[in-house]
Structure 1
């Protein structure tokens, strides 16, 4: 008698041996629990850490940023290390696709190309959001930039630890698992919605869906999680670089405009 498949039971692993299924399911569960712990564990140390910085003579706003920055860095750093230990113990954790994986260098190349696709996709999504009345800009990004200005090591959490953990959770566990029991679009939609909820920016669901769509495409295209990780790291790094140097960029633009005006005046009088 044929055994019916249970998509809920098989959510975290593809069809394989019983032991492999059980181990991969546990690994996926551990990754999710680690991610949840990263989000909530800093709450336990907020008061103590904040009071420490206040005692050091910091202003309340600076102490708050320093508290957030150091707790984010420590929590994500520890979570990242534990997650790497857990996932690399399970040799079948990344083997969820049928067919051969794309070569390593091609996968890296697709990661760089994916970064460019993310810039284009997010720009289009942002224009659509503005057209329907949604104000541009991410409060979450602004907060992280403010924190990074006070605690520079927090940049590691934003640019490295965060993208790796998010790709493990949203692309490998959620999208990768659902894609085996549903289809690409449903898996992408669910992972994007959860991604937006976690970042507390549901109003920008179109932006998150576009990002999730491109990252999911990269994952499915190369069959390597490394590819969306590279694209995600490059995107976060680019955003942080631009935001942290926005004053210098504005001054450069102003100087270029002044130079153009001077050149116009020069041509006006001497041509």
Structure 2
């Protein structure tokens, strides 16, 4: 366990350096604005938390009903790496990049639903290496995974637009990853 802590922390630092630092740099370079304001991390906190709360209720209900009635498997044994890198940081890093930056930039040129669909497709594309690495790219499993991630990308984009806060989708994404980790 103690051996894996340095690797876990290095992985966390790499995620931040590869995902968040370039976005902050691009926002300052292209938009010439404060990154936290541009990403909507400083506004609509209450509205964002309200959307996150209702979305959380829906996600939890869905996972409990589906998993206890169909799959009946739950694993509450989560390690430090899963908590930090799979649950907490993935929600933050991916949402900053995809909803906070890419979706926001695409909405400058396209209607929301077109921009949201493009962002969701890009969101799917970043999951391919994970599926390859974990040997989960077999047919027909991969089709279900693609559809699931695409739909989640659409939902996250919709919640981001409605709440006007990145916190709502960061919380929902992290909760979704927690539920997937525990129930699958």
Q: Which bracket does the TM-score occupy, shorter chain normalised?
A: 0.5 to 0.7
Aligned pairs for 1:1-271 (under 5 A) are 71=7, 73-80=9-16, 83=20, 87=24, 90=28, 91-93=33-35, 94-95=37-38, 101-102=43-44, 104-118=45-59, 152-155=79-82, 156-200=84-128, 203=143, 204-243=145-184
* Contact 2:23-2:97 at 8 Å conserved across structures: no
Describe the shift of the 1:122–1:181 C-alpha distance in structure 2 as closer, same or farther (beyond 3 A): farther
SS at match of 1:182: coil
CA distance in 2, matches of 1:184, 1:121: 27
Q: Classify the secondary structure of the residue corresponding to 1:180.
A: coil
**Kindly tell me: are residues 86 and 190 of structure 1, through their superposed partners in 2, closer, same or farther at Cα, counting changes over 3 Å?**
closer
1:115-170 deviation digits (Å, cap 9, x = unpaired) = 344567899xx9xxxxxxxxxx9xxxxxxx9xx86xx2211100111111100111
| CA distance in 1: counterparts of 2:80 and 2:109, whole angstroms | 40
Question: Do 1:117 and 1:214's aligned partners in 2 also have CA atoms closer than 8 Å?
Answer: no
Task: List gaps (5 residues or longer) in structure 2.
Answer: 132-141
Report the TM-score, using the length of structure 2 for normalisation: 0.64
Deviation at residue 72 of structure 1 after TM alignment: 5.7
Q: Distance in 1 between matches of 2:49 and 2:92?
A: 15
CA contact (8 A) 2:124 2:146 kept: yes
Root-mean-square deviation over aligned CA pairs: 3.7
Instruction: Compare CA radii of gyration and give the structure with the larger one.
Output: 1
Query: Offset of 1:105 from its aligned partner?
Result: 2.3
Mapped partners of 1:86, 1:169: distance in 2: 7
For each residue in 1:38-62, what CA deviation from the matched residue of structure 2 results, as whole angstroms up to 9, or x when unmatched? xxxxxxxxxxxxxxx9xxxxxxxxx
Is the contact between residue 114 and residue 228 of structure 1 (CA under 8 Å) also seen in structure 2? no
Tell me the TM-score normalized by structure 1.
0.45
Give the count of matched residue pairs. 150
**1:114 Cα deviation after fit:** 2.1
In structure 1, runs of 5+ residues without a counterpart are 1-52, 54-65, 127-136, 138-144, 244-271
